[in-house]
Amino acid sequence: MTVQHEAGVQGEALEVWIDQDLCTGDGICAQYAPEVFELDIDGLAYVKSPEDELLQAPGATTPVPLTLLTDVVDSVKECPGECIHVRRVSDSVEVYGPGAE
CB-based contact 36:47 (threshold 8 Å): yes
Q: Does domain 3-96 have CATH number 3.30.70.20?
A: yes
Question: Which parts of the chain sit beneath pLDDT 50?
Answer: 1-2, 4-8
1-17 pLDDT, tens digit per residue, is 345 444 445 678 999 99
The pTM of the full predicted model, rounded to 2 decimals, is 0.88
pLDDT computed for residue 10 by the predictor:
60
**CB-based contacts of 42: which residues, under 8 Å, 6+ apart?**
none
Spatial distance between the Cα atoms of 42 and 66, rounded to a whole number of angstroms: 29
